[in-house]
Amino acid sequence: MIPLCERDPRAMPFVMNGTSQAVLLLHGFTGTPAEMRPLGERISETFGWQVDAPLLPGHGTTIEDFSRHTYADWIGASDAEFQKLKNAFERVHLVGLSMGALLCLELARMHELATSSLVLLAPPIILIDPLERFVVSLFRIPFLSRLIPTLPRDPPLHPDQLTYNRHSTKALAEFGKARRRTLAMPTIRSIPSFLAFSAADQTVDPRSIAFLSRRLVHPLHRVVRLERSIHILTLGADRDQLFTEIEAFHRQISPPKLLQQT
């Protein structure tokens, strides 16, 4: 089977060169950097910062390849990108969508003093659908994921949401690991944080935002509620509002001398 990223180049990782500060953009579970590109372009155009959007292992290829990768692979690849940016730029900001938000939280826990800010979009800590919660938990049993390697899934809600047409049950179990690690996260006090969710999201329970707001306690902590967006907030109906709010947050937490543009 031809990998998704070869059939559609939008799924490939991208870098937008910049100076002074850098932003690591992490896409969601089964997603690709295509869903992060509109936000990356906005940050690059507004601030002139470096923007790095990697493709997580097993994503953008084939469902068989996806099934071979683990949470450890996803956080390991994310950490490698963070380390690269940390060594080259004065400040590094983290932006994650859905599971990418959970990976950003793990990176912040690992590198609290080196993380300049956190932007977490639709973090799926608590899932709305009881059946979805059950399925994610069920396939923690290895025998079941071998017996039922894939499940059907709904089609994408946006043409730039490049994903597989089925779920890997092994990958669902690994996604569950990311959620459980976040549920056990400690309080983070030193990193400014921005959380966004949508009232129209059928995946993320708003209690996820309340949970994180009790653990992200920097004085510059913001929560933004959108009304119409799909789960992929960066492609949703309210994305212009979202991008404006993120821009204002980055201006607020960045020293004026480090802002490329005003």
Question: Is 104 in contact with 96 (CB distance < 8 Å)?
Answer: yes
With contact defined as beta carbons under 8 Å apart, do 158 and 235 qualify? yes
Beta bridge partners of 23: 51, 93
- List the pLDDT tens digit at each of the 262 positions of the chain: 899 999 999 999 999 999 889 999 999 999 999 999 999 999 999 999 999 999 999 999 999 999 999 999 999 999 999 999 999 999 999 999 999 999 999 999 999 999 999 999 999 999 998 888 888 888 888 888 889 999 999 899 899 999 999 999 999 999 999 999 999 999 999 999 999 999 999 999 999 999 999 999 999 999 999 999 999 999 999 999 999 999 999 999 987 665 654 4
**The tokens of 174 are what?**
């690994």
CA atoms within 13 A on the CB side of 176: 16
138's tokens: 């069920």
Category of 23 on φ-ψ map: left (φ > 0), alpha (ψ -120 to 50) or beta: beta
For the segment 165-201, what is each residue's pLDDT rounded down to a tens digit? 999 999 999 999 999 999 999 999 999 999 999 999 9
pLDDT digits (tens, 9 = 90+) for 143-162: 888 899 999 998 998 999 99
Q: pTM of the entire structure?
A: 0.95
Go through the chain and tell me how many residues it has: 262
Q: Give the angle subtended at the CA of 70 by the CAs of 66 and 73, to the nearest 5°.
A: 100
172/185 Cα distance (integer angstroms): 20
Q: How far is CA 211 from CA 173, 215, 246, in A?
A: 22, 7, 21
AA identity, residue 104: C
Cα distances from 92 to residues 22, 162, 230, in angstroms, run: 5, 27, 28
**95 within 8 A of 121, measured Cβ to Cβ:** yes
Nearest to 30 by CA among 150, 131, 198: 150
| 212 vs 244: CA distance, rounded Å | 22
